[in-house]
Amino acid sequence: MSFTYPRNEKLKSKISIGLLFTEGKSVSKYPLRLVYNPGTFGEGEKIKIGVSVSKKYFKKAVDRNYFKRVLRETYRLNKHLLIDNLDQPYSFMFFYQSKDRLSFEEINTKTIQLFEKFLLQIKKEE
């Protein structure tokens, strides 16, 4: 398993992002939220993910960019939890939704819990 975040895993399509917000389902683990929707991608692509931090909570772009970097890093380190357990391709949007400034370790722990909660929800839906 490679711990990379290549270009083909980045969610960039406006259509896919729009579908996430109109048809997507959500799972939360404070202060993180994961919106997901089954999708179809190119050959060998199982996952596409985008990250977002609200301007409402962090007015300065420096702060928003810091938390986006942390979210991407926690995803990169824990994506094996998703890839190993998914049968079909999914697109995700990963949000940080709090004014609280959690440390990297706390966000990483919450990310693992969020991914596990997502996998449980997927199993229930099947």
Burial of 24 (0-12, 13-18, 19+ CB in 10 A): buried
Cβ atoms of 29 and 113 closer than 8 Å: yes
Sequential pLDDT tens for the chain (126 residues): 678 888 989 999 899 899 999 999 999 999 999 999 998 777 778 899 999 999 999 999 999 999 999 999 999 999 999 999 998 899 999 999 999 999 999 999 999 999 999 999 999 887
For 76, residues 6+ apart whose C-beta sits below 8 A from its C-beta are 3, 4, 5
Sort strands 47-53 and 25-29 into parallel, antiparallel or unpaired: unpaired
Tell me which architecture the domain covering 7-125 has in CATH: 2-Layer Sandwich (3.30)
pLDDT of residue 25: 94
pLDDT of residue 46: 87
Quote the CA–CA distance of 57 and 96 in Å, as a whole number: 9
Residue length, the chain?
126
pLDDT of residue 36: 95
pLDDT of residue 110: 97
